Amino acid sequence: MASGALVLPHGSAGAGAALHVTHWLPEGQPRAAVLLAHGYAEHAGRYEHVAKRLTDAGYAVYAVDHWGHGRSDGTPGFVPRFSAFTDGMAELLTLVEVNHGDTPRLLLGHSMGGLIATLFLIQRQDAFAAAALSGPAILPAAPPSRFTVWISRFLSRFFPRLGVLALDANGVSRDPAVVAAYLADPLVYTGKIGARLGKEMMNAMAAAQAGAPKITLPILLQHGEADALTAPAGSRYLFDHVASKDKRLEIYPGLFHEIYNEPERDAVLDDLVGWFDAHVRRPQ
């Protein structure tokens, strides 16, 4: 594992912010490079075990701590515009293109990172050979009332950093050790989601739903059936609405939100690696 930094460019909602980058490389020439978008409140370092499975299979893995997350600049629980997150992925893509030239690229996103990845596919799917989304935040776990939508817009405008919603860490995994490590991790944000970020996320979900038919890339959708943090219906929505002819939906019975951190993680990661293997040629 190695790390570095990117800077969001002029014109970005987060212009000038330094974003922490982590990458893992396989032995020898990588067969493809995976761009990883982590979820809300966490950071790329929590994917060490996922990266190991991928590097063991010959893939390079690159991840950026999103604006306001982990070791990156920004305010936890807040974002000026959701585009600050996709701008970070665009800079990460440029870095991978510089480091690995014409090596095939794959996109992987979890939770809010799955939402970021979906929007990024709508913009730049031509840059990738295939994608995989884990528990993508496409539909809210509970549909907001009209009053909730109104008050969120009001608070976003006048009190954008006001905390309005806390996530239940117990919904992360059925493994108590994973939950304990999540809560003890100093780089994990355990405060409330700010009003602006909440509104921006709802707007991003609407954009992802509207833009789904533009996606034609091979795509794997993985979701825990007992996920209480992001609705499995969101993955079903994407599966039904993307224009991809090559698509696969896996709903795992009984699994919570972080399917790569559940007791059944090995089988779930087998599905992920198998999907990528099926869409990238092996080196001659």
Residue 222 structure tokens: 């993985």
User: Is 23 among the residues known to form the active site?
Assistant: no
| Local structure of residue 43 (DSSP, 8 states) | -
Residue 174 structure tokens: 């059925």
- Which of these is catalytic: 65, 72, 227, 235? 227
**pLDDT tens across the length of the chain (284 residues):** 767 899 999 999 999 999 999 999 999 999 999 999 999 999 999 999 999 999 999 999 999 999 999 999 999 999 999 999 999 999 999 999 999 999 999 999 999 999 999 999 999 999 999 999 999 999 987 676 666 666 777 777 777 878 888 889 999 999 999 999 999 999 999 999 999 999 999 999 999 999 999 999 999 999 999 999 999 999 999 999 999 999 999 999 999 999 999 999 999 999 999 999 999 976 55
Whether residue 123 contacts residue 207, with contact meaning beta carbons closer than 8 Å, is answered with: no
User: Is 49 among the residues known to form the active site?
Assistant: no
Q: Is the dihedral of CA 207, 208, 209, 214 positive or negative?
A: positive
Q: What is the pLDDT of residue 147?
A: 60
Residues 6+ apart with CB under 8 A from 98: none
pLDDT tens column, 150-165: 677 777 777 787 888 8
pLDDT tens column, 71-99: 999 999 999 999 999 999 999 999 999 99
User: Is 20 among the residues known to form the active site?
Assistant: no
- Which of these is catalytic: 38, 69, 257, 279? 257
Domains of the chain by residue range: 2-278
Class for the domain spanning 2-278: alpha beta
Cβ burial of 177 (10 Å; 0-12, 13-18, 19+) is exposed
- Which of these is catalytic: 12, 83, 111, 244? 111
